[in-house]
Amino acid sequence: MDHDIEIPVFVEKAMEKSGIKRDKIRSIVHSDLDHLGDFRASWICVDDQWLYIFSQTQRSGPQPKLKRIRRKRASQKQLVTEIDLRNFTEEVELTAKYELSSLAELKCEYFVGSIAVIAKIGDEEQVLVRGSKGRGAELNTFCRSVSAMLKPKKESKFGFGPGFGGPGFGGPGFGPGRPGHGKEARCPTCGRLYPDPFRRVCPNCIDKGTLFKRVLSLTPRYKKPLIAMIVIMFISSLMGLVTPFMSGRVLIDEVLTPGGRYEGKIGQMVLLTVGISLLSQILRIIYGRINSGVTAEIIYDLKRMIFSAMQRLSLSFYNKRQTGSLMNRVNSDAMDLQFFFHDGLPYFIVNSVQIIGVLVMLLWMNWRLTLLVFIPIPVILLIIYKILPNLWKLHSRRFRTNAALNSVVNDSLTGIRVVKAFGKEDQEIDRFNDRNARVFDVQMSIGRLSSTVFPTMGFIMGLGQLIIWGVGGWDVITGRMSFGTLISFTGYLGMLYQPIRQMTQIVDWWSSCMNSAQRIFEIIDSSEHLTYPEKPVRLKKIKGHVVARDVEFGYEEGIPVLQEINFEVQPGEMIGLVGHSGAGKSTMINLIARLYDVTNGMIAIDGVNIKDIAKEDLNRQIGMVLQETFLFHGSIMDNIAYAKPDASPAEIIRAAKIANAHDFIMKLPDGYETVIGRKGLDLSGGERQRLAIARAVLLDPRILILDEATANIDTETEQLIQAALEKLVEGRTTFAIAHRLSTLRKADRLFVFDKGRIVEVGSHDELLEKKGVYEKLFTTQRKALELTAVGG
Amino acid sequence: MAAKELSEFSNINYLDPKEAIFSISEGGLLSLQLGATFYRKVDLHQAFPFSLEHKFISVRDEEGEEIGIIKDVADFSAESREAILTELRWRYYAPIITRILDVKDEFGHLYWDVETDHGFRKFVTRARDEGIYPIGGRRLLIVDMTGNRYEIEDYHRLDARSLRFLEPYI
Ligand SMILES: Nc1ncnc2c1ncn2[C@@H]1O[C@H](COP(=O)(O)OP(=O)(O)O)[C@@H](O)[C@H]1O
Ligand SMILES: [Mg+2]
């Protein structure tokens, strides 16, 4: 039993009041909409006998001002319940309860804009609570676990060997193990919402120092050059600090002033200055050379690491993200880091050395004056932080409006034929004018703002100068300060504002870089690999006995694609999977090959849960021929031997012969060494398919999977392939999906899929006699074929 | 035969307002009495959710098969209409933002704090204008990172302070 389920204090109080024992509670979940659609928190929880619903009951009074929502730190057992108390108060009461024995099932329904938890009570269905989309994952988990509790355990229909009942079988477990169970998606440290509730990373609170160290630690071999770079940067910015001193204090006070320490030594002065600037140029060159080399290499390493990490990820990682945008993200994240090393880091060093150095010099030369100079700085900081960001936003808006304008121009020019053909010139002009006006507006705003801000800033900075001229001048006249010092002073002041301004951007930059780094590490660290047990079960030679029990699967939470799948397949059997497209056939075989892990239930091969079987045993003995054959850039030989790189030439030829591919390969000028994709050589669909079959033959799998292996191929080629497949199928457990039902005549049994379930099982003849789904499918297809045959 | 099939596909099967009676069951689900057939639970799908919210609504049974199409909700009896609209409100739930208390652009995300017709709410959308969609006129649809939707009916009718928060992103 889980005695440490987290329950918010005010729910605990309500439980006490209603006489519910807190430690009997087995599971709790929180939702956020009431029956009117208002934001109001409710909790559903279950103990051994009852299901309770608690809700906030007291509307908060009118909000006087922006009342900050209450933030509570999570203590060990206390939940961070970030309920927005602006809507309802902490008052919570038991609002409904149901006897568990009266409930048949709990399920989560996903709408476009909200979610409903629906209970089956007898024959009736009833909405228990509603929630916003963000609550989906947790509500769904809760529904599943409660439903699993309600269902009487079914008797096992099949005998299972070891590994039965592994993790994930029989419904998700209860309790606090699940991340974020019952918690609002909020950072516990700063109270910000997590941007992505499934990521639970607060960009404000990620430990940037540690991240940065980790970025560096990725590349230990760059430690020395990095340190060298920092040292050089440091020295060269120190040298920059010398200039105002030289031109003021030294030149005016000591060289040009009669009685100065270096009176009249102009030549040496010039030489010294030239020497310093020469040295600093040389340093810069050295720096630049090290820098470009090192950053390029760091990024190269980083990208390589990311790519190899990505190869190890399970397919479901990719499903949740669009592959294209994922690649863009990774690329732009890597770019961000590159910028950081290339520009950000040196800027940071230069600027901080400069700011500190200038301040030290100023204070050293005249601390009183320095303090006076600081008077306008708060105003400048205010402008930098409050007003300039608006200007940057306007700039990015101008960029977007311009892009929109360009796309109109682009559209109507590339589509000019369509525009003319439909006589829509005026409409296009309107569209253009509309966008153009927007660009104009933004441009105006930018003009107005920047023509106000920058002069103001200039004036305020000028104020600093004026103070120096006034007060400092007075000091010079009264002899408290030398004229040279005054000149140096103004020189240094000029060096102060620029780095301050840049530093404010660097902070932003730093945050976004570390966020990028975080995302990259997330891929590198992702736990979405399929997990393999430490001591996997070795199956040297799979017999081919395949069992599915209560298999459930969905690519996305809450949208089941397969449900209640149960079957048992004997070694050597050939199974045809049929059904409308989208019925879940491909999904089924993906699960058998363990490209994805089942959400619930299990699949076992030779009595072993496939999650426990060693990866290499599974990969070596399950062969797939898919509808779309992916050929790598390389020779035909390499492509056939992809799964077995050490295959001998004789083996490869034998495989090609079985696949009926040998003849067409031999007709190619370079035979088996023909490089696909070179010199415009491309293979036809049928030829590619036969290479894929050869690949499978070479692998000599114990379980063969054919997913529409003969689709999109003309009848004659199909016969060739069909013949090849028949040779291949023999003696192996085979799962074949075919669009043309006639291709599956040889199957021992057909599994008919409909909307994610197996609705009929039997041989072709049996199923026809049954006059069910299969019969319908078969007759429609025959009619369609007749139709095309007549039509030509 | 081919011709007949084509017409079969192209015919829109409108629900007859006299024959189709919608109601919300005690459990809070939408049911449909269509002539002699009773559907315990039906789903609604708007064909044009932004421009014609109350027209061309596909009614589907629990299996997802289309039973027919509501041509215009206005043609139905008051009770049916009420039931349909209630269901649509849940299905396309999108609180209307009446006041924007804060929008912060931080770390590549927008952090919102708003008041809606259903209460106060904080949420996060992705950077800049991703997640803010103009849906005709001055109407905006805002979709947060978790898929929740919010609507602004006419941004020019927001108070000045709210508009100022919104302005940079539209
Ligand atoms: N990678 C995926 N991500 C999300 N949904 C998917 C994915 N692949 C398939 N689906 C969905 O799963 C269902 C079953 O698809 P599939 O197994 O490919 O059907 P079949 O092979 O029977 O045509 C479909 O509704 C499809 O949209
Ligand atoms: Mg398929």
Are B119 and B102 part of one and the same domain? yes
Using the Cβ of B41 and the Cβ atoms of chain A, whether some distance falls under 8 Å is answered with yes
Q: CA quadruple A69, A71, A72, A74: dihedral positive or negative?
A: positive
d(CA B135, CA B141): 6
| Boundary-marking domain end, from B27, B62, B91 | B91
The domain segmentation of chain A, as residue ranges, is 9-150, 208-525, 546-631+702-791
Are B102 and B145 part of one and the same domain? yes
Residue B114: predicted pLDDT = 93
Least confident of A200-214, A429-443, A767-781: A200-214
Ligand nearest to the CA of A582: 1
B120 to A86: CB separation less than 8 angstroms, yes or no: yes
Are B76 and B117 part of one and the same domain? no
Examine the pLDDT at B63 and tell me if it is beyond 70. Answer: yes
Q: Which of residues 161-190 of A touch B (CB under 8 A)?
A: 185
Q: In which band, very low, low, confident or very high, does the pLDDT at B12 lie, cut at 50, 70 and 90?
A: confident
d(CA A621, CA B112): 53
Q: State the DSSP code for A609.
A: E
Atom of ligand 1 nearest to the CA of A577: 22
Share of chain A above pLDDT 90, in %: 11
Residue A156: predicted pLDDT = 41
Whether residue B6 is contained in a domain is answered as no
Whether residue B3 is contained in a domain is answered as no
Residue with tokens 């990774």: A330
Of B27, B63, B106, the CB nearest to A126: B27
Examine the pLDDT at A148 and tell me if it is beyond 70. Answer: yes
Least confident of A202-211, A287-296, A638-647: A202-211
Fold of A9-150: PH-domain like (2.30.29)
Residue A414: left (phi > 0), alpha (psi -120 to 50), or beta?
alpha
Are B60 and B104 part of one and the same domain? no
Share of chain A above pLDDT 70, in %: 83
Using the Cβ of B25 and the Cβ atoms of chain A, whether some distance falls under 8 Å is answered with yes
Residue A18: predicted pLDDT = 87
Are B110 and B155 part of one and the same domain? yes
Count of CB atoms situated within 10 Å of the CB of A783: 11
Residue to probe by mutation, ligand 1, list A314, A556, A587, A754, most atoms within 8 Å of CB? A587
A84 to B2: CB separation less than 8 angstroms, yes or no: no
Is the Cβ–Cβ distance between A764 and A782 less than 8 Å?
A: no
B168 contact residues in A (CB cutoff 8 A):
390, 393-394, 397
Is the Cβ–Cβ distance between A342 and A295 less than 8 Å?
A: yes
Whether residue B1 is contained in a domain is answered as no
Are B102 and B39 part of one and the same domain? no
Residue to probe by mutation, ligand 1, list A563, A586, A598, A628, most atoms within 8 Å of CB? A586
- Give the tens place of pLDDT for each residue, A380-392: 788 877 787 778 7
Whether residue B57 is contained in a domain is answered as yes
Distance A709 CA to ligand 2 centre (A): 11
Distance of CA B132 to the CA centre of its chain: 16
Residue A77: predicted pLDDT = 34
Residue A89: predicted pLDDT = 81
Whether residue B126 is contained in a domain is answered as yes
Atom of ligand 1 nearest to the CA of A585: 22
Over residues A721-736, mean pLDDT? 81
Chain B nearest CA to A87, separation (Å): 6
Of B41, B92, B101, the CB nearest to A66: B101
B126 contact residues in A (CB cutoff 8 A):
195
Distance A402 CA to ligand 1 centre (A): 39
* Domain count of the fold of chain B: 2
Name, of A302-306, A467-471, A544-548, A685-689, the range with top average pLDDT: A544-548
Are B117 and B162 part of one and the same domain? yes
Distance B64 CA to ligand 2 centre (A): 20
Residue A712: predicted pLDDT = 59
Measuring from each residue's beta carbon to the nearest atom of ligand 1, which residues come in under 6 Å?
Answer: A 319, 555, 561, 579, 581-587
- Give the tens place of pLDDT for each residue, B79-131: 999 999 999 999 999 999 999 998 887 766 788 999 999 999 989 887 655 78
Examine the pLDDT at A178 and tell me if it is beyond 50. Answer: no
Examine the pLDDT at A750 and tell me if it is beyond 90. Answer: yes
Residue A575: predicted pLDDT = 93
Q: CA quadruple A363, A364, A365, A366: dihedral positive or negative?
A: positive
Distance B61 CA to ligand 2 centre (A): 25
Torsions phi, psi for A645 (to 5 deg): -60, -20
Structure token pair of residue A374: 């600081």
B122 to A84: CB separation less than 8 angstroms, yes or no: yes
- Give the tens place of pLDDT for each residue, A194-213: 766 656 667 666 666 777 77
A133 to B147: CB separation less than 8 angstroms, yes or no: yes
Q: In which band, very low, low, confident or very high, does the pLDDT at A78 lie, cut at 50, 70 and 90?
A: very low
Are B117 and B81 part of one and the same domain? no
Closest CA to A446 of A385, A383, A395: A395
Fold of A208-525: ABC transporter transmembrane region fold (1.20.1560)
Using the Cβ of B94 and the Cβ atoms of chain A, whether some distance falls under 8 Å is answered with yes
A511 contact residues in B (CB cutoff 8 A):
107
Are B61 and B119 part of one and the same domain? no
Q: CA angle, A50 as apex, A48 and A55 as ends, to 5°?
A: 130
This prediction's pTM: 0.62
Best residue of A193, A395, A511, A779 to probe chain B, by most B CBs closer than 10 Å: A193
Atom of ligand 1 nearest to the CA of A584: 17
Over residues B133-147, mean pLDDT? 86
Q: Write out the residue range of the structural domain in which residue B109 sits.
A: 97-169
Examine the pLDDT at A701 and tell me if it is beyond 50. Answer: yes
Q: Whose CA is nearest to atom 4 of ligand 1?
A: A555
| Boundary-marking domain end, from B64, B91, B118 | B91
Q: Which of residues 739-758 of A touch B (CB under 8 A)?
A: 755
B111 to A126: CB separation less than 8 angstroms, yes or no: no
Mean pLDDT of chain A: 79
- Burial state string for B82-103 with b = 16 or more CB within 10 A and e = fewer than 16: ebbeebbebbbbbbebbebbeb
d(CA A377, CA A504): 14
Q: Which of residues 61-80 of B touch A (CB under 8 A)?
A: 63-64
B147 contact residues in A (CB cutoff 8 A):
133-134, 136
Closest CA to A512 of A331, A336, A332: A336
Contacts of A653 (CB under 8 A, 6+ apart): A662, A672
Residue B94: predicted pLDDT = 93
In chain A, whose CA is at the least distance from the CA of B90? A114
Examine the pLDDT at A173 and tell me if it is beyond 60. Answer: no
Are B86 and B101 part of one and the same domain? no
Chain B nearest CA to A332, separation (Å): 13
d(CA A758, CA A585): 10
Using the Cβ of A127 and the Cβ atoms of chain B, whether some distance falls under 8 Å is answered with yes
Contacts of A506 (CB under 8 A, 6+ apart): A344, A347, A348, A351
Over residues A463-481, mean pLDDT? 85
Strand ranges (E), A14-157: 27-33, 39-46, 50-56, 92-99, 103-110, 115-121, 124-131
Is the Cβ–Cβ distance between A745 and A576 less than 8 Å?
A: no
Is the Cβ–Cβ distance between B104 and B125 less than 8 Å?
A: no
Using the Cβ of A89 and the Cβ atoms of chain B, whether some distance falls under 8 Å is answered with no
d(CA A591, CA A589): 5
Is the Cβ–Cβ distance between B23 and B33 less than 8 Å?
A: yes
Give the residue ranges of DSSP H helices in A322-376.
Answer: 323-339, 345-365, 367-373
Give the residue ranges of DSSP H helices in A162-259.
Answer: 208-217, 223-240, 242-245
Strands A703-707 and A622-625: parallel
| Boundary-marking domain end, from B91, B117, B144 | B91
Using the Cβ of B104 and the Cβ atoms of chain A, whether some distance falls under 8 Å is answered with no
B118 to A114: CB separation less than 8 angstroms, yes or no: no
d(CA A18, CA A92): 11
Contacts of A261 (CB under 8 A, 6+ apart): A254
Atom of ligand 1 nearest to the CA of A753: 22
Over residues A766-787, mean pLDDT? 83
Are B60 and B126 part of one and the same domain? no
- Return the CATH architecture of domain A546-631+702-791: 3-Layer(aba) Sandwich (3.40)
Over residues A588-599, mean pLDDT? 88
Atom of ligand 1 nearest to the CA of A583: 22
